[in-house]
Structure 1
Amino acid sequence: MDSKSSTYSPAFSIVSWIALVGGIGTYLLGLWNAEMQLNEKGYYFAVLVLGLFSSASYQKTVRDKYEGIPTTPIYYITCLAAFIISVALLIVGLWNATLLLSEKGFYGLAFFLSLFGTVAVQKNIRDGGIERTKEPAEVANAEDLPE
C-alpha cells in the first residue's frame, strides 16, 4: 500500500463518530450521576482525557511509520507509554473503587468504546484528507482496483 492509498468510507466515518461521541457521552453521564467524591470524578475524567489523547497520538504515530513519514522513537514510545498508563490507571481505579461490579463494567466499556472511537475518527479524518488531495484520475484508478 502506498502513502496515497486509503480506505475512507463515509459509513465507517459516521459509525466512528457515533462510537466516539456515544462512548464519551456515556462515560461523562455516568460520572455526572455517580455518587462519588469530586476528586474521584476528577480522577476518572483525567484518565479518560489521557486515554483519548494518547490513543489518537499513538494511532497517528503508527500510521506515520507505516507510511514512511519520519517519526522519532521517543515520541512513539511516549505515546505508547501514555496509552498503557491510561488503561492501567483505569483498571487500578476500578479495581479499588467501591462501586458495584456492573458500574465498574459500565465505566470500562464506555472508556474502551471512547478509545476505539478516537482511533477510528482520527483514521477517518486522515483518510478523508488523503482522498481530498488525490487527483481525479488517481481516485478513478483506485476504485477500479480489485479488493
Structure 2
Amino acid sequence: MRHINIQKIIYHIRHRYLTLNNVVMLVAFVIAAGWVWASLGAMQRNYGLQKDIDFKKRQLQLTQLQRDNLSLQKSYYQTTEYQELAARDVLGLVRPGERALVLPPNSAAAIKADATTPTTAAVQTNSSNIEQWVNFLFGGYSKSISGGK
C-alpha cells in the first residue's frame, strides 16, 4: 500500500510539475538570476574602481596645488623684497632713518603674572536662567530691561 502511494506521488510530481513549460521556466529563471548576479558583481567592481579613480584624482589635484605653492614660494624667495627682509631679520640691519627697538626678554615675574591673570572666557556671572535667555535673545540688554541690577 505504501509503495502505491509513493508511486502516485511520483506520478503527480512528474506530470504536474516536471512539464516542459515548467522546466523551460526554471532554466530561464536560473539564466536570469545568473545574469542579475553577474551584473551586480560588475556594478560593484565598477563602483570600487571609480572610487579608486576619484581618490587618485584628488591626490593628483592636491599634489599639483602643493607644487604650485612651492613654485610660488620659490619665486618669492628669489625676490629682492624677501632677500631684504631676511637680511634685516638675520643681520639686524635697518634702513636709513629707521630705528630698531630691541626689547629684553620677559622677566620671571612678568611670565608669572601673565599665567595668573584670568581670561575673559573663564569669567562667569551669576544670573538667573531668565536673564541668560534674555541676554541670548536680545543681545545682552537684560540688565537694562530688568532694572539694572
Fold match by TM threshold 0.5: no
TM-score, scaled relative to structure 2: 0.25
| RCO higher in structure (CA 8 A, sep ≥6) | 1
TM-score (ref. length: structure 1): 0.25
Structure of higher CA gyration radius: 2
Larger relative helix fraction: 1
